[in-house]
């Protein structure tokens, strides 16, 4: 449905989502490193300090453990925090409150203390930031029961998922791939619908391609290229990594009978492994070919451009593997 | 047992309050003592950390709280929950793993929770409760409810980054939070002298702009007085740390052979037993009669016995309910 299409960017879409949340509920506030005076490391919150003041756009010291934990406490106390961790790389300093507190408290208290906190962070490589600033760990977090993991790839999802997340009584982690912030486009929708439902972003009869985040665009480009050779990829944008929308995935496989997973995380023990296992459990007899995966190579991401390109999933690789899948078994 | 109450120079609180402080300490002491045979009988499993010897801290501080205040505890928190108003039977049932427990048997000894009394655990990662309390205090401030978040932790937590980050935040944001360091001088088996450099816990708090003072944690009257003053400051937006010097009479947990401390050291602290010393003071001041004390003992024994019976009669949640509460069952408000 196209309603009131607007030229915007992913960055502006996230900002508008935050603005809307702040305007709509006085319990909502944003906190994190450099969200206020600096305007956000990726300029997402630029201008919000002037509009909403320092109590609702709250600059924090470099204390990920404490301010993530404080966000959880504030949520328990009745506020609706949006905690911004500058990037996923620094979330490692806050793993304890995320896993041992946010994810456990509702269950461990017998349902008495749900934790309605939203934690946003930038994720992903591809900008020559080297090994300590290029992680894709959203699949790791998806391992943890008690969390909801959202991975908005599109401008619409950047715009609408946050409001949905803030209405949830559970901790929701939103991973924004850092290569997407400059992406331009138009808003097509007026709400997130159900972000826990995967979406078919391109229909095709030959291979179901499961992906999320920035890899979605590599997948779509690969699909365009390979369509010229008569191979049609059905590209699914997972949108949420926990819970996984098995229904949409299995429906697509029932049409295509082949599965290719593209994930910017590492292969071993990653979300691609989980997806593959679920396909085996539920759609084994639908398959005409083995499940294939294209993941980041098992290496700390290097700085040098050609090495980083070789490490990350690329369009050419997707095309090559998809061709193999069809020619070998087609 | 002979007692040494010479250190107790603190003024006595008013008679009714003094009596209640003593009675609350008795409840905690008896509850903890009862846990031992229940553990030995296999009714309580997992880790069990007893608070015997440290009762004056929880009782002195929590007796000063208002209903609107929030409490964050550690894994040695039965006494805090009890004094805060969680029933002995709900705590015992929790430790028995029964669904009548204060966390439906999902938490056990280390994870007691109670929304009605704003008791936020029961946190078993050392230092993990501190940022939580900072956030609860932030909510009090922003929502202008006037409550204080009180966070209990041991001196072992002072070596954690969470301590320093949390005190820095509380100070920067002028939050209504009271940090209560229960300094029992051992981080499990590691003595304070080889875990903390510098000039002690209070000095570490003060570098973050948090006001700090040390109090005799074996003297419930002293803790009560200090907590009252500290809470008034905290309520006005000045975070305060109260270091309560105390001692754990029993082992760290039921798995601890206590190889790291001399029996003579334990005995020296036992002569300062917070319950026995305060009883002696109140008796000599004529605030409590021996006959009353005996009646209280009977009443508390009956309360604990009833708690055990309740826990014994409690029901097991069916395994079919295993996955309940991983996510909230109610929509957010």
For chain B, list the domains and their CATH numbers.
15-311 (3.40.50.970)
B132 contacts A101? CB cut-off 8 A = yes
A65 contacts B162? CB cut-off 8 A = yes
With 80 as the cut, is the pLDDT of residue A301 above it?
A: yes
Quote the tokens at residue B160: 């954690």
B149 contacts A113? CB cut-off 8 A = no
A53 touches chain B (CB under 8 A): no
Contact A235, A202 (CB under 8 A): yes
* Residues of chain A neighbouring B149 (CB-CB closer than 8 A): 73, 77
Lowest mean pLDDT among A56-65, A134-143, A187-196, B51-60: A187-196
Q: Is A274 noted as a catalytic residue in this protein? A: no
Contact B225, B9 (CB under 8 A): no
A55 contacts B328? CB cut-off 8 A = no
**Is A131 among the domain residues?**
yes
With 70 as the cut, is the pLDDT of residue B219 above it?
A: yes
**Is A27 among the domain residues?**
yes
Fill in the DSSP letter of residue A97. Answer: I
With 60 as the cut, is the pLDDT of residue B9 above it?
A: yes
Residues A262 and A144 in one domain: no
B332 touches chain A (CB under 8 A): yes
Distance from CA of B267 to the nearest CA of A (A): 37
Lowest mean pLDDT among A310-314, B144-148, B190-194, B300-304: B190-194
Residue where a domain terminates, one of A162, A186, A210: A186
A112 touches chain B (CB under 8 A): yes
Residues A221 and A318 in one domain: yes
pLDDT of the residue at A184: 95
B121 touches chain A (CB under 8 A): yes
Confidence of residue B1 (pLDDT cuts 50, 70, 90): very low
pLDDT of the residue at A2: 47
Contact B171, B208 (CB under 8 A): yes
Fill in the DSSP letter of residue A215. Answer: H
Residues A99 and A235 in one domain: no
B138 contacts A77? CB cut-off 8 A = yes
Contact A276, A287 (CB under 8 A): no
**Is A59 among the domain residues?**
yes
Closest CA to A175 of A188, A189, A190, A165: A165
Span B267-278, average pLDDT: 97
Q: Residue A223's domain is classified under what CATH number?
A: 3.40.50.920
**Is A194 among the domain residues?**
no
Residues A176 and A213 in one domain: no
Residue where a domain terminates, one of A186, A209, A231: A186
B119 touches chain A (CB under 8 A): no
B324 contacts A72? CB cut-off 8 A = no
A32 touches chain B (CB under 8 A): no
How many helices (DSSP H) and strands (DSSP E) are in chain A? 12, 14
* Residues of chain A neighbouring B325 (CB-CB closer than 8 A): 106-107, 109-111
Stretch 154-213 of chain B: residues touching chain A, C-beta under 8 Å: 161-162, 165-166, 168-169, 172
pLDDT of the residue at B254: 83
Burial B185-210 (b: 16+ CB within 10 A, else e): bbbeeeebeeebeeebbbebbbebeb
Span A98-103, average pLDDT: 98
pLDDT tens-digit map of B111-154: 999 999 999 999 999 999 999 999 999 999 999 999 999 999 99
Contact A77, B136 (CB under 8 A): yes
Distance from CA of A328 to the nearest CA of B (A): 43
Residues A77 and A114 in one domain: yes
User: HEC profile for A151-164?
Assistant: CCCCHHHHHHHHHH
Distance from CA of B95 to the nearest CA of A (A): 13
**Is A2 among the domain residues?**
no
* Residues of chain A neighbouring B112 (CB-CB closer than 8 A): none
Residue span of the structural domain in which A305 resides: 199-329
Among all residues of chain B, which has the CA nearest to that of A56?
B142
Contact A292, A277 (CB under 8 A): no
A66 contacts B121? CB cut-off 8 A = no
Compute the distance between CA of residue A100 and CA of residue B304 in angstroms, rounded to an integer: 32
With 60 as the cut, is the pLDDT of residue B2 above it?
A: no
Angstrom distances, CA of residue B10 to CA of B64, B224, B231: 16, 10, 18
Residues A28 and A146 in one domain: yes
B326 touches chain A (CB under 8 A): yes
A74 contacts B130? CB cut-off 8 A = no
With 80 as the cut, is the pLDDT of residue A3 above it?
A: no
Residues A214 and A286 in one domain: yes
**Is A317 among the domain residues?**
yes
**Is A309 among the domain residues?**
yes
Contact A226, A233 (CB under 8 A): yes
With 80 as the cut, is the pLDDT of residue B333 above it?
A: no
pLDDT of the residue at A298: 97
Residues A175 and A61 in one domain: yes
Among all residues of chain B, which has the CA nearest to that of A65?
B162
Confidence of residue A273 (pLDDT cuts 50, 70, 90): very high
Q: Is A133 noted as a catalytic residue in this protein? A: yes
Residue with tokens 């949830």: A168
Compute the distance between CA of residue A180 and CA of residue A160 in angstroms, rounded to an integer: 16
By Cβ distance, the residue of A66, A106, A168 closest to B134 is A66
* Residues of chain A neighbouring B169 (CB-CB closer than 8 A): 60-61, 63, 66-67, 70
Angle between helices B274-284 and B220-235 in degrees, nearest 10: 100
Residue with tokens 């270091």: B243
ipTM of this complex prediction, to 2 decimal places: 0.95
Domain count, chain A: 2
Residues A90 and A218 in one domain: no
Angstrom distances, CA of residue B252 to CA of A116, B152, B158: 34, 17, 18
Compute the distance between CA of residue A167 and CA of residue B299 in angstroms, rounded to an integer: 48
Residues A325 and A266 in one domain: yes
B118 touches chain A (CB under 8 A): no
Omega before B61 cis (within 30°)? no
B144 touches chain A (CB under 8 A): no
A209: which residues sit within 8 A by CB, 6+ positions away? A219, A222, A223, A233, A234, A235, A236, A259, A260, A261, A262, A318, A322
Residues A279 and A315 in one domain: yes
Alpha helices in B122-251 (DSSP H): 129-142, 161-172, 201-206, 220-235
Catalytic pick among A12, A133, A138, A176: A133
pLDDT of the residue at B255: 84
- Indicate left, alpha or beta for B25 from its phi (over 0: left) and psi (-120 to 50: alpha): alpha
B132 contacts A67? CB cut-off 8 A = no
Fill in the DSSP letter of residue A300. Answer: P
Contact A123, A176 (CB under 8 A): yes
Contact B83, B63 (CB under 8 A): yes
With 90 as the cut, is the pLDDT of residue A99 above it?
A: yes
* Residues of chain A neighbouring B104 (CB-CB closer than 8 A): 110-111
Distance from CA of A106 to the nearest CA of B (A): 6
Contact B12, B287 (CB under 8 A): yes
- By residue count, chain B amounts to 333
B53 touches chain A (CB under 8 A): no
pLDDT of the residue at A4: 54
Residue where a domain terminates, one of A165, A186, A207: A186
* Residues of chain B neighbouring A73 (CB-CB closer than 8 A): 120, 131-139, 149
By Cβ distance, the residue of A29, A97, A116 closest to B332 is A116
Residues A219 and A167 in one domain: no
**Is A1 among the domain residues?**
no
């Amino acid at each position: 449905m196209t309603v009131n299409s607007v030229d915007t960017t992913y960055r502006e879409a996230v900002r508008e989502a935050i603005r809307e949340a702040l305007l709509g509920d006085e319990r909502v506030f944003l906190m994190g490193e450099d969200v206020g005076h600096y305007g956000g490391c990726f300029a997402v919150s630029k201008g919000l300090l002037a509009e909403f003041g320092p109590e609702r756009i709250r600059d924090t010291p470099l204390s990920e453990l404490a301010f993530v934990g404080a966000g959880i406490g504030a949520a328990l106390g009745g506020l609706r925090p949006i905690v911004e961790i500058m990037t996923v790389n620094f979330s490692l300093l806050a793993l304890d409150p995320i896993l041992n507190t946010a994810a456990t408290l509702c269950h461990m208290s017998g349902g008495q203390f749900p934790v309605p906190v939203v934690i946003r962070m930038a994720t992903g490589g591809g900008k020559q930031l080297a090994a300590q600033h290029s992680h894709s760990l959203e699949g790791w977090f998806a391992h943890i029961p008690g969390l909801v993991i959202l991975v908005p790839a599109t401008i619409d999802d950047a715009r609408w998922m946050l409001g949905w997340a803030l209405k949830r009584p559970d901790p929701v982690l939103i991973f924004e791939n850092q290569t997407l912030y400059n992406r331009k486009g138009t808003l097509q929708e007026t709400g997130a619908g159900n972000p826990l439902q995967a979406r078919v972003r391109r229909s095709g009869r030959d291979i179901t391609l499961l992906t999320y985040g920035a890899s979605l665009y590599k997948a779509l480009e690969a699909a365009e290229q390979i369509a010229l050779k008569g191979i049609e990829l059905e590209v699914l944008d997972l949108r949420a990594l926990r819970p996984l929308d098995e229904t949409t995935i299995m429906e697509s496989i029932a049409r295509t009978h082949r599965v290719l997973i593209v994930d910017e995380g590492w292969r071993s023990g990653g979300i691609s492994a989980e997806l593959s296992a679920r396909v085996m459990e539920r759609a084994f007899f639908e398959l005409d070919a083995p499940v294939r995966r294209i993941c980041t190579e098992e290496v700390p991401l290097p700085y040098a451009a050609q090495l980083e390109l070789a490490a990350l999933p690329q369009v050419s690789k997707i095309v090559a593997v998809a061709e193999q899948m069809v020619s070998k078994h087609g | 047992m002979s007692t040494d109450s010479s250190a107790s120079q603190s003024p006595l609180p008013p008679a009714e309050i003094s009596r209640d402080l003593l009675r609350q300490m008795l409840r905690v002491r008896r509850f903890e003592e009862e846990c031992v045979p229940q553990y030995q009988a296999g009714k309580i499993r997992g880790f069990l950390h007893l608070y015997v010897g440290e009762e004056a801290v929880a009782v002195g501080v929590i007796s000063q709280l208002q209903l609107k205040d929030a409490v964050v505890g550690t894994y040695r928190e039965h006494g805090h929950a009890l004094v805060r108003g969680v029933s002995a039977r709900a705590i015992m049932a929790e430790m028995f793993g029964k669904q009548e427990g204060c966390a439906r048997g999902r938490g056990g000894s280390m994870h007691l929770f109670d929304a009605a009394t704003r008791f936020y655990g029961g946190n078993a990662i050392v230092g993990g409760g501190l940022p939580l309390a900072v956030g609860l205090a932030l909510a009090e401030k922003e929502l202008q409810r006037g409550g204080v978040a009180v966070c209990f932790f041991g001196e072992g937590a002072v070596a954690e980054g969470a301590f320093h980050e949390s005190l820095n935040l509380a100070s920067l944001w002028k939050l209504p939070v009271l940090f209560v360091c229960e300094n029992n001088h051992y981080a499990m088996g590691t003595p304070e002298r080889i875990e903390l450099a510098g000039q002690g816990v209070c000095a570490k708090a003060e570098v973050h702009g948090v006001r700090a003072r040390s109090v005799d944690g074996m003297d419930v009257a002293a803790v009560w007085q200090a907590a009252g003053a500290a809470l008034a400051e905290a309520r006005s937006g000045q975070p305060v740390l109260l270091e309560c010097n105390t001692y754990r009479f029993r082992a760290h947990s039921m798995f601890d052979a206590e190889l790291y401390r001399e029996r003579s050291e334990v005995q020296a602290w036992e002569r300062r037993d917070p319950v026995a010393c305060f009883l002696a003071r109140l008796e000599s001041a004529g605030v409590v009669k021996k006959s009353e004390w005996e009646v209280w003992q009977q009443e508390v024994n009956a309360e604990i016995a009833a708690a055990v019976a309740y826990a014994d009669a409690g029901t097991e949640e069916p395994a079919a309910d295993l996955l309940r509460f991983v996510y909230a069952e109610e929509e957010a408000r």
